């Protein structure tokens, strides 16, 4: 699954929160960590997060949902999560990522979002499936590439997600206006109930992501260098021109 640098970053960040830190997730299902009280965003939200009509129609950034499972040795439980990235354009950087966690043996499930930076954290977020009632969630922690937000839900909500068409996510932007992200749910139920991806396949995909990441970084650096040279050449020509 070939992906761009930023697209890969969203999925890897969501994945790292599960199996790389599975024990932390299992603990958080018992006692969720509070959202930062007065944390300020490090940078403004992407332009796509603040459209004129405050409604952002998102598209899948990957061909299909990915389900990953692993054992949390400390808690003695198996954790599976089903995830996908979403953006305004399949070839552009994702706007957010969704991951739904199934902790075996726990009635409570976790809906986790990796949201853009530049949003108001204290109000938290709301989400609903199709025209159903909205549920509340909280922001947990922010990193340079985005902020994690999650909600604890029951099996009934998971069943709605599996049967649903759209997931609507509501947040507040920097000027206190509500922004609605709309995520398509097609294929989620099949992936959630299906088999997990083979670890070897997942590793191969991550290695491919790393290669794509390096190639894109090199391409961006080359473009930046070419643009600097063009501007310097224009500046020199302007200075040499007769008055």
Average pLDDT over all residues of the chain: 78
pLDDT of residue 215: 79
Q: Is the CB of residue 109 less than 8 Å from the CB of residue 153?
A: yes
What number does CATH give the domain 5-197? 2.60.40.1880
Sorting pLDDT into bands at 50, 70 and 90, what band is 127? very high
Q: How far apart are CA 173 and CA 52, in angstroms?
A: 12
Beta strands in 58-145 (DSSP E): 59-60, 66-72, 77-87, 96-103, 109-115, 125-129, 135-143
Which position has the token pair 């599960």? 18
Q: pLDDT digit string (tens) for 155-207?
A: 999 999 999 999 999 999 989 999 999 999 999 999 999 999 877 776 776 67
CA–chain centroid gap for 218, Å, is: 24
Q: H/E element holding 62?
A: none
- Helix spans in 56-198 (H): 155-163, 188-193
pLDDT of residue 35: 40
Q: Which tokens go with 55?
A: 């409604």
Sorting pLDDT into bands at 50, 70 and 90, what band is 209? low
Using the Cα atoms of residue 200, residue 9, residue 59 and residue 90 in order, give the sign of their dihedral: negative
Comparing 27-41, 102-116, 127-141, 150-164, the range with the smallest average pLDDT is: 27-41
Greatest extent of the chain over all pairs of C-alpha atoms, in Å: 80
The residue with greater pLDDT, 145 or 199, is 145
Q: Is the CB of residue 136 less than 8 Å from the CB of residue 179?
A: no
Closest alpha carbon to 130 in 211, 185, 192: 185
Comparing 1-5, 28-32, 194-198, 199-203, the range with the smallest average pLDDT is: 1-5
């Amino acid at each position: 699954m070939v992906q761009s640098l930023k697209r890969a970053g969203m999925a890897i960040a969501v994945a790292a929160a599960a199996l790389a830190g599975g024990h932390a997730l299992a603990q958080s299902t018992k006692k969720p960590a509070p959202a930062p009280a007065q944390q300020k965003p490090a940078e403004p939200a992407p332009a796509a997060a603040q459209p004129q009509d405050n409604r952002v129609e998102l598209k899948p950034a990957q061909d299909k949902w990915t389900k990953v499972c692993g054992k949390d040795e400390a808690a003695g439980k198996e954790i599976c999560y089903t995830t996908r990235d979403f953006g305004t354009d399949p070839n552009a950087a994702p706007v957010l990522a969704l991951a739904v966690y199934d902790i075996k043996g726990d009635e409570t499930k976790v809906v986790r979002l990796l949201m853009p930076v530049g949003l108001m954290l204290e109000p938290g977020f709301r989400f609903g499936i199709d025209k159903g009632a909205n549920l509340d969630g909280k922001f947990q922690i922010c990193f340079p590439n985005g902020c994690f937000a999650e909600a604890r839900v029951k099996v009934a909500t998971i069943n709605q997600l599996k049967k649903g068409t759209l997931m609507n996510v509501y947040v507040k932007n920097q000027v206190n206006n509500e922004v609605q992200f709309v995520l398509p749910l097609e294929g989620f139920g099949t992936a959630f109930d299906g088999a997990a991806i083979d670890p070897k396949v997942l590793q191969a995909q991550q290695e491919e992501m790393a290669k794509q990441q390096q190639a894109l970084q090199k391409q961006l650096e080359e473009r930046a260098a070419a643009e600097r040279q063009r501007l310097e050449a224009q500046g020199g020509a302007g200075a040499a021109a007769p008055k």
